[in-house]
Structure 1
Amino acid sequence: MTSTVADQVRRDVVRGTAGEISEGIRNLISAGALAPGDALPPIRALADDLAVHRNTVAAAYRLLVAAGVVETQGRRGSFVRSIPLLDGEGGSFSPGRVDLASGNPDSALLPDLRAALGRTSYVPRLYGAAATEPLLDSWARSSIEQEVRRPNSITITNGAVDAVERLLTAHLTRGDAVAIEDPCFLASIGTLKANGFRAVPMDIDNSGITPQGLLRALESGVRAVICTPRAHNPTGVSMSADRAAILGSILAKFPHVMVIEDDHFSAVSSNRYYRLAPMSTTRWALVRSVSKFLGPDLRVAVVASDLDTGIRLSTHLRSGANWVSHLQQRLSAELMGDPEVVDGLADARAVYDRRRVILKDALSEHDIVIPDTLDGLNVWVPLNRDSEPVVDRLAERGWLVRDGSQFSATPDRRHRALRVTTSTITSEQAREFASALAEILAST
């Protein structure tokens, strides 16, 4: 491999500068001569082959890493970066098995979008129209401005995942460190991997991110913090008022760190929203999407942010280029302003609350204890053993759940737990599942 790379790079190198070596290797990758996962030559060996100083090759490799085409793996060396395999939410059809793994809302509790489309007052928008639907902008400002209590900009994105990705890439560069909760939302893990950011885990407890976890991440040099203020996925934890105040006082000492709050469950959460970003934070964003309660096919999120961040976001979502569908924006705004839909969301909140409690009570009958601080569509079941065999044995008995290790912020911090989606669970299913889990735990 070394001679092949050196020979082909040498053909394209004139003076052997770091930039020329980097460009030559990138050409090999683009041409398919080097494939994802292929090892690059050791720095010293390639330097000898090209008759340059090893620091020159080291600098070339750093350029390749910064460009996102190469990754380093410590003593194992440098490799052509592979396309990351990312986990996502959603069920998999498996006949004869009960899907408690999907992370989906109950479709029966979502508003009827077909009927709503027939009632909408949407007027077709053409190129040149404002990027943000006025009705949605008005709703966003009335529902958010009292909570952020500072000058802000409203931007509409294609859902929360799109919002978080745009926010990070607007301010950070590949290789920057980002603090995320551990365990963490699957999409956040995927966003960091796909964009070449380095994940720094923050421990969480029943009140949210721990002060020690946040402080360690900040002192390590992270450039951004991503937080779920309530209905954290996968654990269901919501941040308490006292914890938010403590975390805010810590963040106040790091005003340059961007704070992103992903409030994905806002309209059906059982808990109050407590703001994380202190007034001293320069770059901040509160993201509220609608897919968890209006339907996953409505890819709309309202982003309230500082003014500079709003300008950066709008540059990529400007009129005539890449705006969010006005039809989706208008429909979301009309639904959120419809009294019948608002009443339906209150009913959904109560149903989700009841179903989480149904599973919690069923598990407690078998002395399987889970935290009282529950919210969202899932229940987090900590285990005292490796969770992967438990997941496999549950599948053999007809129950699909998520392995807690899938939600680990970094590969070296595997969680021994199960994430069980309760959005559609019945009392009978809860009892049968709890019994099956208890039997499996007793036999291993």
Structure 2
Amino acid sequence: MFKLQPHEIAEGKAESIRRAIEQAILDDRLKPGESLPTVRSLAADLGVNKNTVVVAYRQLQMTGLVVSDGRRGSIVANQSSPGPSSESGPPQMMSVRDGNPDIAFLPDENDIRDAFSRMNLENHLYGEQRNNPGFVKWAVECFSADGVPVDKGIFVSAGALDLIERALDAAGLVPGDKVGVEDPGYMSLLALTRLMGFELVPLALDQHGILPESLQSALDGGVKAVLFSSRAQNPTGISTSKERALALKEIAANADDVLFIDDDHSSLLQLAPYNSWHVRDDGPWLVVRSLSKFLGPDYRLAVSTGDVQTIESLENRQAVGMGWVSTFLQRLALQLLTSPAMRRKFSTGGAAYIERHTALLTLLRKKGFRVLGGAGLNLWLPIADERAVAERLFDAGWLVRTGRDFCVAPQSGIRITSSKMTPQQSIVFVDALLAARHALATTLSA
């Protein structure tokens, strides 16, 4: 009989009991069909109120990991398909390919209406201050909290890619110039830089971030910009460790003419500590933080800070182009970003993304897959025959994205979006992946 120990939970909360039992199921310490302790016995073992255990069991039933079985009580469910299916038809399709955040942690209609009720709704006219002072102040506080110097100013753009495109142009890069990018890297960023005509130089990754020798080789080879994400990297979920940041910082310090841009897209979710390595007294640099992962992609807003010359160049170019990013959006975003209810959503969402990513990562490693990761909304799985594997997964009811669009150097893999995967779905997905691998190995050996 499975027994949960008091030291496995925090402060006797239902949420911590749920997580401990989930982990036991993922670790195979609790197997399908096995009974959980009765509510009364578990409450007594843990020294908590019976209602706390009832809530935890109800949460487990909602995720599909546990079912109620009459006199047997609560038992671990058998995991068989990603969603409801009919007896005559295939399982319902489950998409784990889109890279989106979980809508449950984004502003809902009530959050937005509340923000509107607190907004200054005055019109903004030509010639007035380009950015909302309150929004800029919020950005300054966020960067400062992570030790990023903001004395050179804040630049507001229509998303991270808008900033990156403008920055590369403002830095004087022209078609044919070399740009260092993570490999595998963010699909849209690779597409943008290819469209701009740059030669992409792959930066190799391991569990701790960009490999120092890879960065040094790229700099020796003449790259004029380096684009990266120092935490929750897309598609891998890798975050740069403190030790790796120190090694990269030493290398970047000698590249005065190279523009370094960190796309820190997950900032408020706090998926990992922020270990900056490219901020320098001499040389161009930027940190860009979009709002897409915690307010939603449709807000099209990002804030950046960097060296004085780069910030001034961006401001000057924007002034004679689009002029400014809507202050109406800035004011709306500010109300949402500073709302206590939304701040709780950011915290809850960040914890959920870490939990979901870790659950999938743990299962894959346990089943013998060589996979990098740490925290994030996505996970990268290097695997041979990516197209054949994707087709097998599709037949089993799973939509994944193959790796070609994420890679510079030839390699094979799939990106899996973990942001909305429940523990039950992680188990089912890994089982489907194992079946695909077995079937393909059998086919290839025939």
Following superposition of structure 1 onto structure 2, how do residues 160-309 of structure 1 map, counting pairs within 5 Å?
160-171=160-171, 172-309=173-310
* Structure 1 SS opposite 2:298: coil
1:232 and 1:123 mapped to 2: Cα distance? 39
Residue 357 of structure 1 deviates from its aligned partner by 2.6
Structure 1 residues 45-66: Cα deviation after superposition (integer angstroms, max 9, x where no partner): xxxxxxxxxxxxxxxxxxxxxx
Residue 289 of structure 1 deviates from its aligned partner by 0.7
* Structure 2 SS opposite 1:138: helix
Tell me the TM-score normalized by structure 2: 0.74
The answer (yes or no) to whether the contact 1:317–1:324 under 8 Å persists in 2 is no
Amino acid corresponding to residue 223 of structure 2 in structure 1: V
Amino acid corresponding to residue 349 of structure 2 in structure 1: A
Structure 1 residues 212-232: Cα deviation after superposition (integer angstroms, max 9, x where no partner): 110110000011111101000
1:149 and 1:302 mapped to 2: Cα distance? 14
Cα distance change on mapping 1:170 and 1:233 into 2, 3 Å: same
Cα distance change on mapping 1:382 and 1:320 into 2, 3 Å: closer
Q: Please point out which of 410, 413, 416 is paired with 2:412.
A: 416
Cα distance change on mapping 1:197 and 1:122 into 2, 3 Å: farther
The answer (yes or no) to whether the contact 2:101–2:419 under 8 Å persists in 1 is yes
1:437 and 1:321 mapped to 2: Cα distance? 47
The answer (yes or no) to whether the contact 2:143–2:150 under 8 Å persists in 1 is no
The answer (yes or no) to whether the contact 2:255–2:283 under 8 Å persists in 1 is no
Cα distance change on mapping 1:390 and 1:242 into 2, 3 Å: same
Corresponding residue for residue 112 of structure 2: 114
2:215 and 2:248 mapped to 1: Cα distance? 7
Amino acid corresponding to residue 203 of structure 2 in structure 1: M
Corresponding residue for residue 327 of structure 1: 328
Corresponding residue for residue 96 of structure 2: 100
Please, which moves more after superposition, 330-339 or 232-241? 330-339
The answer (yes or no) to whether the contact 1:231–1:269 under 8 Å persists in 2 is no
> Which structure has more RCO (C-alpha within 8 Å, separation ≥ 6)?
2
The answer (yes or no) to whether the contact 2:175–2:196 under 8 Å persists in 1 is yes
* Structure 1 SS opposite 2:168: helix
Residue 364 of structure 1 deviates from its aligned partner by 4.5
Corresponding residue for residue 138 of structure 1: 137
Structure 1 residues 300-329: Cα deviation after superposition (integer angstroms, max 9, x where no partner): 100102111111111232289431111111
Amino acid corresponding to residue 393 of structure 1 in structure 2: R
Do residues 381 (structure 1) and 381 (structure 2) align? yes
2:254 and 2:366 mapped to 1: Cα distance? 46
Amino acid corresponding to residue 435 of structure 1 in structure 2: D
Do residues 127 (structure 1) and 143 (structure 2) align? no
Point out where structure 1 has 5 or more consecutive residues left out of the alignment: 1-93
Cα distance change on mapping 1:196 and 1:216 into 2, 3 Å: same
Q: Please point out which of 423, 427, 446 is paired with 1:431.
A: 427
The answer (yes or no) to whether the contact 1:249–1:278 under 8 Å persists in 2 is no
Corresponding residue for residue 443 of structure 1: 439
Amino acid corresponding to residue 108 of structure 1 in structure 2: A
2:119 and 2:429 mapped to 1: Cα distance? 42
Do residues 398 (structure 1) and 397 (structure 2) align? yes
- Percent identity between the aligned chains? 36
Structure 1 residues 246-267: Cα deviation after superposition (integer angstroms, max 9, x where no partner): 1111111111111111100001
Residue 416 of structure 1 deviates from its aligned partner by 2.1
Cα distance change on mapping 1:197 and 1:366 into 2, 3 Å: same
Number of paired residues? 346
The answer (yes or no) to whether the contact 1:218–1:254 under 8 Å persists in 2 is yes
Residue 278 of structure 1 deviates from its aligned partner by 4.4
The answer (yes or no) to whether the contact 1:100–1:422 under 8 Å persists in 2 is yes
Structure 1 residues 382-432: Cα deviation after superposition (integer angstroms, max 9, x where no partner): 22x221211122112211011122200x2xx23222211111112222221
- The alignment yields a C-alpha RMSD, in angstroms, of 2.0
1:320 and 1:418 mapped to 2: Cα distance? 39
Residue 367 of structure 1 deviates from its aligned partner by 3.3
Residue 170 of structure 1 deviates from its aligned partner by 0.6
Residue 279 of structure 1 deviates from its aligned partner by 2.3
Amino acid corresponding to residue 367 of structure 1 in structure 2: G
2:277 and 2:121 mapped to 1: Cα distance? 36
1:150 and 1:117 mapped to 2: Cα distance? 29
2:144 and 2:435 mapped to 1: Cα distance? 51
The answer (yes or no) to whether the contact 1:131–1:317 under 8 Å persists in 2 is no
The answer (yes or no) to whether the contact 2:140–2:150 under 8 Å persists in 1 is no
Tell me the TM-score normalized by structure 1: 0.74
Amino acid corresponding to residue 148 of structure 1 in structure 2: V
2:322 and 2:426 mapped to 1: Cα distance? 48
